[in-house]
Structure 1
Amino acid sequence: MASRHSAAFLIRPVLLVAALLAATWALSPDRAQAQRHPSSPELKKLPEPPAKLPKVGADRGRGLDFLFGALKAAPDDASAKHVEARIWALWAQTSSDTTALLMTRSKAALDAGNTAVALKLLDSVVKLRPDYLEGWNRRATVYYLQNDYDRSLHDIEQVLVREPRHFGALAGLGMIMQELGDDKRALDAYRKALAVNPHLDKVPDLVKTLTEKVEGRDI
């Protein structure tokens, strides 16, 4: 009996993935288009990892502390982007083949504009691996694209509890606060993001604009 229960336990994740992937294949292009959110990704886009991440390699042993130090010390944007990609690679790393597959399929669904399927897949990632911060981060992005700021903020909080230096989540927090009209909290979030990663795209300009708006111009 013990071996039968063990086998059932091992099979469940596989069956779950199969069912979720079947849902993605069952949706026709027309149906996927109908579920596309009207907001354009070009107009609403949270910081995200590059399309192709570098191999973790030696960074696994050096760890994030080393990379964050290198990120702050980067002499130019090109060097910073190289280190930033290595940080994203460590964040994306998972020892679970199931999690990796679900994340890959969720990205494909999101790229196709099918947020409903992307959310189902990410719900499973969060449930299976609650300590995997990129599951929370990716789902926060999907909620943000749907203008569901409450759920997006909840997931961003989960990311920052696990990794307070997550500059993508911090910048995302700033964007949501700014859209909600809370410029003071938006400015605070952007400043924290820049303290971690001084080379973030567009964030320095946002900090400058909001500083003048919240704190006034220097006399």
Structure 2
Amino acid sequence: MGYRMTIGAALAAFLPVAVPVAAAPDPGGPGAPLPFFRRGLGDIVPPLPGLQARPGRPLPGSDGAPDRPGPPGADAAEVTAPKPDRAPTRAEALDKLLGRLARAQDEAEAHAVAGMVERLWMESGSDTADLLMTRAVAAMNGDRRDVAAALLDKIIDLAPGWAEAWNKRATLRFLENDDTGSMEDISHVLVLEPRHFGALSGMGFILERHGEDAAALKALRRALAVYPQDGDVRKAVDKLAPTVEGQDL
């Protein structure tokens, strides 16, 4: 897309909760302060679906039906009768997989389910966008980052509602030590898919290396709420928690 914004401007523009921030210069490399995150992560990242049931809807990932009354005059048999078999929608399949991920009993099971989630996230619904993404990932893996960046810019122009396009560009920018650009893209990812454990953990690691330990801990715990068996994130949480919250005597 070719634009550049400060992280603060990106958050103010794209996140559903407005965060008053003054225009700020690019925060620079690792260790530079990110003052607009001092308000706390809850102000800048949408809450995770599934942590609270919305009226008339089941928790995402649950196998139960919404707890809501049937239409007037409907008897119990009609209300509880199973629906005809049909293929699950992409959203339904994703909810079910994320529910399995949250309940996984060990890292091996969780890793397998996380892989299925990531493969589903890689499906844009557009053959053209999917083809370009295949080429972008190949360019990233081949250390042709300029080619990958150009392809990802094109993909985002073509499919701005595809969370994984923003996530892949956030990853590329992180590899390029462009933390400001990476956080801009993460903000898009989390608006489109608040349960994206990769984006949440990436946000946490960026915040940590900029000295924003409290916000980093919140982001990493949000990632663990989705993917409890992620060993690397668990270690990072265990490392940060005593620093942020103090140790019990």
Common topology (TM > 0.5): yes
2:148 is the counterpart of 1:128? no
Inter-partner Cα distance in structure 1 for 2:165 and 2:125? 14
Partner residue in 2 for 1:149: 179
Residues in 2 aligned to 1:174 and 1:144: alpha-carbon distance in whole angstroms: 12
1:180 matches 2:223: no
Question: Do 1:106 and 1:118's aligned partners in 2 also have CA atoms closer than 8 Å?
Answer: yes
Query: How do residues 66-215 of structure 1 correspond to structure 2 at under 5 angstroms?
Result: 66-215=96-245
Shift of 1:101: 1.3
Shift of 1:95: 2.2
Query: Residue 61 and residue 147 in structure 1: after superposition, are their counterparts in 2 closer, same or farther (change >3 A)?
Result: closer
Shift of 1:150: 0.8
**2:145, 2:172 within 8 Å by CA — same for their partners in 1?**
yes
Which ranges of structure 1 fall in alignment gaps of 5 or more residues?
1-56
Q: What amino acid maps onto 2:163 in structure 1?
A: L
Query: Aligned to 1:155, what secondary structure does the other structure show?
Result: helix
1:201 CA drift (Å): 3.1
The offset of 1:62, in angstroms, is 3.9
The answer to whether the 8 A contact 2:107-2:231 is kept is no
Distance in 1 between residues matched to 2:110 and 2:125, nearest whole Å: 27
Q: Within 1, Cα distance between the matches of 2:179 and 2:228? A: 26
Return closer, same or farther for 1:97/1:186 CA change in 2, 3 Å cut-off. Answer: same
Alignment of 1:20-39 (within 5 A): none
Give the share of equivalent positions with the same residue, in percent: 45
Give 4+ residue runs of structure 1 displaced > 3 Å after superposition: 57-62
Higher helix share: 1
Deviation, 1:144, is 0.5
Cα offset for 1:88? 0.8
Residues 62-95 of structure 1, C-alpha deviations (whole Å, 9 max, x = no match): 4222111111111111111121111111111122
How much does 1:181 deviate?
Answer: 1.1
State how 1:5-20 maps to structure 2 within 5 Å. none
Indicate the residue corresponding to 1:9 in structure 2: none
Give secondary structure in 1 for the equivalent of 2:121. helix
What is the RMSD computed on CA atoms of the aligned residues? 1.5
CA–CA distance in 2 between the matches of 1:184 and 1:214? 6
**CA–CA distance in structure 1, aligned partners of residues 233 and 240 of structure 2:** 10
Q: Deviations over 1:11-34 (max 9, x none)?
A: xxxxxxxxxxxxxxxxxxxxxxxx
Question: TM-score scaled to structure 1, two decimals?
Answer: 0.71
State which drifts further: 73-82 or 184-193: 73-82
Distance of aligned partners of 1:99 and 1:213 in 2 relative to their CA distance in 1, 3 Å threshold: same
Deviations 1:165-196 (A, max 9, x none): 10000000001001111111111100000011
| Counterpart Cα distance in 1 of 2:163 and 2:90 | 17
